[in-house]
Structure 1
Amino acid sequence: MPPTEAHPGTAGPPDADPSADPSADDTLDLHLPEEFLALLAQAERDRSGAGDLLDDLADWGPTATPAGRFQLVPVRLDRDLPLVTRWMNAPAVAAFWELQGPESVTADHIRAQLDGDGRSVPCLGVLDSTPMSYFEIYRADLDPLARHYPARPHDTGVHLLIGGVTDRGRGIGTLLLRAVADLVLDHRPRCTRVLAEPDLRNTPSVAAFLAAGFRLSAEVDLPDKRAALMVRDRALRHVL
């Protein structure tokens, strides 16, 4: 099951600066129940007075990349379902996302996010006006992933697949991962790091994250895979 193609409690005293040492608490084993994650999401909505857990992602706008002008555009099922379904049925994608099949399979996966509380937003990656990739931007600290790593408030996760075979294997994934991580850090000031958890067997994906400035923080056993926990730290964004 997703995540991924290139497919997500804090240690120390409450007043510690979490960005001072990006790797200081990466080995802490923390497990949070689903009910607690739901309460955290509700508490944050109550504090902000709004229902948007990802800081108005739809309004982030485009950004320039070496490959062209890139933008995250939230998925609309009535417009985008056939395209995303076709991508999900590509063998290289299906091997890791496991969403191959008729449109109803993809629709159920996307609709669960669209009908949820906003902790995960499915998006098309649009490069120079052409939809060519699919992203899920999600609150890793409010996701079941938080049971498997030392989550920090506002941790933001990324799942990615490259749609067209001609766009794979030539560095586009790396460019887009860096661009999306920068978008998250620019538009989510409370987020100190961007995370991903590609399947360890997906070596092109892991390599793309490393080239995009992510570091391998840990290997984690998730219900459906053994994953590489990749982290891009705000404190190191201009170094890596």
Structure 2
Amino acid sequence: MAPADPGTDDTLDLTLPPEFLALFAPPDAPYGRSAPGSRPGRADPDHCLVGDIARWAPADTPAGPFRLVPVDAERDLALVTGWMNDPAVAQFWELAGEPAVTGRHLDAQLDGDGRSIPCLGLLHGTPMSYWEIYRADLDPLARHYPARPQDTGVHLLIGGAADRGRGLGSTLIRAVADLILEHRPGCCRVVAEPDLRNTCSVAAFLAAGFRLSAEADVPGKRAALMIRDRSLRHLL
């Protein structure tokens, strides 16, 4: 085909979808956050890339009714900041400090395009954990493993020390993975990448039906790539 005449007025405006542009986000983009420059406004169901989590029904777990509620920055900042300053949490999340530190972390997601949604986990109606549900296939993590379309990732922390070390984490991880697979029919895998040093977290994912797929060097840590396959959901 002959090259186009540079003087012609006929042009083709091509708009690439955010899913494609995300694959070329800067390599130092924070994990689980929106890529810089893609901030159409506060995340809402009309452009949320993981679904309308606010409408997800509670899960009936052995520990009681559990549900995810999207974070409201003004309402929840003090609570999440307190959790981030717990030494056991700060060791791996590295967000200890003033409320502004946590606020920037939340705003990077809330002001993004909906590819990562920060949530509170409510057990019996009481906030007791923090979760990030994100599109792993649109995240910088996708550069470190063979991502598939619609892969959905999970970050979490259990807020209170009394709720740790008694198997509650694995119960809730399984519940959240099931919620994702129930409400995101296009998602075939739920993934996570805990720090390999966080042996309690790795063990919780294994007990929740995830498998250790690989180890990966990601910014700031060596991670255990954990995967829960839809096809094995009722077997593990």
Regarding TM over 0.5, the answer is yes
Letter in 1 for 2:24: P
Does residue 147 of structure 2 align to residue 156 of structure 1? Answer: no
* Residue pair 1:33, 1:147 contacting (<8 A) in 2 also: no
* Residue pair 1:216, 1:230 contacting (<8 A) in 2 also: yes
Distance 2:190 2:67 in 1: 18
Q: CA deviation at 1:55?
A: 1.9
**Matching residue within 199, 205, 214 for 1:203:** 199
Q: Which residue of 1 aligns with 2:178?
A: 182
Q: Which residue of 1 aligns with 2:189?
A: 193
Q: Which residue of 2 aligns with 1:121?
A: 117
Q: CA deviation at 1:50?
A: 4.4
Distance 2:83 2:130 in 1: 9
Structure 2 gap segments, 5+ residues each: 1-22, 39-44
**How many residues matched?**
201
**Matching residue within 117, 125, 131 for 1:135:** 131
Q: Which has the higher contact order (CA 8 A, sep 6+)?
A: 1
State the identity as a percent. Answer: 70
**Matching residue within 72, 80, 87 for 2:83:** 87
Distance 1:111 1:117 in 2: 11
Q: TM-score, normalised by structure 2?
A: 0.82
Distance 1:146 1:50 in 2: 24
Q: Which residue of 2 aligns with 1:167?
A: 163
Matched residue SS, 1:166:
helix
Letter in 2 for 1:96: F
Matched residue SS, 2:130:
strand
Distance 2:80 2:46 in 1: 29
Q: TM-score, normalised by structure 1?
A: 0.81
Q: CA RMSD in A?
A: 1.9
**Deviation readout 1:65-110 (Å, 9 max, x if unpaired):** 0000000000001110000000000000000000000100000000
Q: Which residue of 2 aligns with 1:97?
A: 93
Structure 1 gap segments, 5+ residues each: 1-31, 43-48
Distance 2:88 2:120 in 1: 18
Q: Which residue of 1 aligns with 2:47?
A: 51
Q: Which residue of 2 aligns with 1:70?
A: 66
Q: Spell out the pairing of 1:18-33 with structure 2 (5 A cutoff).
A: 32-33=23-24
Distance 1:220 1:81 in 2: 31
Runs (4+) of structure 1 moved beyond 3 Å?
none
Q: Spell out the pairing of 1:10-21 with structure 2 (5 A cutoff).
A: none
